[in-house]
Amino acid sequence: MYQWIYKQGVKRRNPLLPVAESFLQETDTWTRAELEKYQLEKLQELVHWAYENSAYYKKLFDETGVHPDDIRELNDLQIIPPITKKILLAENEAIHATASFERLIFSETSGSTGSPLTFHRNLEWDARHRAAIHRGYNWYGIKPWHRNGYFWGYNLDVKKHWKLKMMDKLVNRFRIFSYETDEINAFIKKLKRADYLEGYSSMIYHIAQKIEREDLPIRANLKMIKGTSEKIFDSYQPTVEKVFGRKIISEYGATETGIIAFECPDGNMHMTMENVIVEVIDGEIYVTNLFSKSFPIIRYALGDYVELDTETKCSCGREHTIVKSVIGRIGKEILGEQETYPSFIFYYIFKNIVMDGGEAIGYQVLQHEKGHLEFRLEPHLSAHTRSRLETEIVKYFATDMTYEISEGATFYRDGGKLKDFVSFIETV
Ligand SMILES: [Zn+2]
């Protein structure tokens, strides 16, 4: 029945989805060379399209002396100036293609700060994005209509709550809204027949912790647990695996770019090379969305620091480039008395401790004033780990920073999302 409902929904929402899905199924086994050849073809098509249909790109290319025919190989992409979120907002209308589309899907990104970005996506863009997610599911033997539990929904009013429950029924989904024991028990009952879980990783972890602490009996046979929207800390994994039988896997992407990478069962995030071209310059990611015809996104500075691995051959056999890690968001910087520092330093501080054979620590760092940091740590540390941590802090900040460390701490939430670094200092 759910399969039928799902298929009716696809017909109505986006009839191009099945074609995109079977294409991505086929290209899943392509070699790197085949993938890159395909990327170049699609890139050339997109660049021509943007030049002919988008007032913004026409002007940009003319002003910078770029002609679409100049793109002869993937590296030639570098002659096109990057685009930022600021430009997407300011030049929104001029970027939108003037060509007419049979149908467009309205999209909105909910940035935690500033005005939301809105744009229209053509059907092929939407189909490719969703097909990429579905291919990832398929790696775990999951179909989109399979039964799933959803960890989402902070601050919901009751009316919305009911509406969501109805929607959830239609798509074979059940949801957990709070950390109340009654609700967790009801959730556990439903787990028996669930194929996968997804949602905020911090919530998955906290529910797992509570189940473990209260020794609630659980029977589940999950094929996948997927974390979305926020950072998945290494420190979550042991408890989640113990309670739910699987680790949390990651998916990386954004509304503007679509899915950039999806973690395979062998533990590597593979880039969706059929849909996007990724460049990393000075650690920052730039994404070209190859199917963004209605609102061309070429060399978009997404705002993350990432590491790629083009050498390792994943044991799963896929040749799609590996996104080794998404290190952190660009933006809020750490302010010392004298210097400023990128926020990904925290990633390295805690990673170094793990690499040294130490434990993975759940952490959050807050900055309320210049030259001072508040480290909030979830566990209580051994004397050895604590001194390791202090050594690391001094290694990166020397005397430019004072700090305090609270152990067994609770984390600050910015809306629903949990961030590893929160700065309360207003900068211009
Ligand atoms: Zn793999």
Q: Quick check: is 57 in a domain? A: yes
User: Would you say residue 93 has pLDDT above 90?
Assistant: yes
Q: Cα of 325 to ligand 1 centre, how many Å?
A: 14
Specify whether 396 is located in the same domain as 296. no
Q: Last residue of some domain: 280, 295, 328?
A: 328
Tell me: the pLDDT tens digits for 43-80? 999 999 999 999 999 999 999 999 999 999 999 999 99
Those residues whose C-beta lies under 8 Å from the C-beta of residue 189, and which sit 6 or more positions away, are: none
Range name among 67-76, 169-178, 192-201, 254-263 with the lowest pLDDT average = 169-178
Q: What's the 197 CA to ligand 1 centre distance in angstroms?
A: 21
- Asked whether the predicted pLDDT for residue 156 surpasses 70, the reply is no
Question: Does the pLDDT at position 153 exceed 60?
Answer: no
Ligand 1 centroid distance, CA of 139 (Å)? 10
143: domain CATH number? 3.40.50.12780
Alpha helix ranges (H) inside 140-191:
158-170, 181-191
Q: Does a structural domain hold residue 125? A: yes
User: What pLDDT is recorded for position 52?
Assistant: 97
What distance separates the 2 farthest-apart alpha carbons in the chain?
66
How far does the centroid of ligand 1 lie from the alpha carbon of residue 236, in Å? 22
SS3 of 284, please? strand
* Pairwise CA distance, residues 351 & 221, whole Å: 31
Separation of 141 CA from ligand 1 center, angstroms? 15
pLDDT tens, position by position, 266-281: 999 999 999 999 999 9
The two tokens of residue 325 are 């890690």
Q: How far is the CA of 269 from the centre of ligand 1 (A)?
A: 7
CA of 264 to the centre of ligand 1 (A): 5
Please compute the mean of the pLDDT values over residues 117-140 and round it to a whole number.
96
Residues 236 and 152 in one domain: yes
DSSP states along 177-195: ----HHHHHHHHHHHTT-S
Q: Please report the DSSP string for 203-250 in residue order.
A: HHHHHHHHHHHTT-------SEEEEESS---GGGHHHHHHHHSSPEEE
Name the domain count of the chain. Answer: 2
Of all residues in the chain, what percent carry a pLDDT higher than 90? Answer: 64
Is 195:222 a contact under the CB 8 Å cutoff?
yes
Domain containing 249 equals: 1-328
Which is it for strands 363-369 and 372-377: parallel, antiparallel or unpaired?
antiparallel
Tell whether 122 and 157 lie within a shared domain.
yes
Q: In the structure, what pLDDT confidence band is assigned to residue 11 with cuts at 50, 70 and 90?
A: confident
Percent share of the chain, pLDDT over 70: 95
**Which pLDDT score is estimated for 202?**
83
Of 29-33, 61-65, 179-183, 208-212, least confident by mean pLDDT is: 179-183
The average confidence (pLDDT) of the chain is 90
Beta pairing class for 417-418 and 340-341: unpaired
Please, which pLDDT band fits residue 112 given cuts at 50, 70 and 90? low
Please tell me whether residues 35 and 178 are part of one structural domain: yes
Query: 296 and 217 in one domain?
Result: yes
Q: Which of 371, 323, 327, 370 is nearest to 346 (CA)?
A: 327
Buried b (16+ CB within 10 A) or exposed e, 194-211: bbbbbbbbbbbbbbbbeb
Neighbours of 356 (CB within 10 A): 10
Q: How far is the CA of 265 from the centre of ligand 1 (A)?
A: 7
| CATH code assigned at 383 | 3.30.300
Residue 114 has pLDDT above 70, yes or no: no
pLDDT at 128: 97
Question: Facing residues of 225 across strands?
Answer: 197, 248
CA of 313 to the centre of ligand 1 (A): 8
3-state class of 61 per DSSP?
A: helix
Residue 226 sits in the same domain as residue 255: yes
Span 222-228, average pLDDT: 94
Average pLDDT over residues 250-254: 93
Between the CA of 78 and the centroid of ligand 1 the distance, in Å, is 28
Ligand 1 mean position, distance from CA 267 (Å): 6
Instruction: Examine residue 182 and state whether it is found in any structural domain, yes or no.
Output: yes
If asked whether residues 308 and 348 sit together in one domain, one would say no
Distance of CA 315 from the midpoint of ligand 1 (Å): 6
**What is the predicted pLDDT for the residue at 258?**
93
pLDDT band at residue 231 under the 50/70/90 scheme: confident
Q: How far is the CA of 321 from the centre of ligand 1 (A)?
A: 9
Q: How far is the CA of 266 from the centre of ligand 1 (A)?
A: 5
Dist. CA 296–CA 95, nearest whole Å? 7
Same domain? For 277 and 371 the reply is no
Q: Are 321 and 309 in contact (CB under 8 A)?
A: yes
Q: Is the pLDDT of residue 232 over 60?
A: yes
Question: Residue 330: pLDDT above 80?
Answer: no
Are 308 and 343 contained in the same domain? Answer: no
Q: How far is the CA of 276 from the centre of ligand 1 (A)?
A: 18
CB 112 within 8 A of CB 417: yes
Dist. CA 320 → ligand 1 center (Å)? 8
CA angle 302, 304, 307 (to 5 degrees): 120
* Centre of ligand 1 from the C-alpha of residue 270, in Å: 6
Report whether 152 contacts 199 (CB < 8 A): yes
Q: So what's the pLDDT on residue 354?
A: 84
- Residues 308, 351, single domain; the answer is no
Query: 317 and 344 share a domain?
Result: no
Residue 428 is assigned to a structural domain of this protein: no
Q: What spacing in Å lies between the alpha carbon of 333 and ligand 1's midpoint? A: 33
Choose the final residue of a domain: 283, 309, 328. 328
| The most confident of 338-347, 390-399, 417-426, by mean pLDDT | 390-399
Domain end among 270, 296, 328: 328
In this structure, the dihedral spanned by the alpha carbons of residues 353, 358, 359 and 362, taken in order and rounded to 10 degrees, is -20
The mean per-residue pLDDT over the stretch 168-185 comes to 84
- Taking residues 342-364, report their average pLDDT: 86
Are 247 and 369 in a shared domain? no
Find out whether 301 and 325 touch, Cβ atoms under 8 Å: no
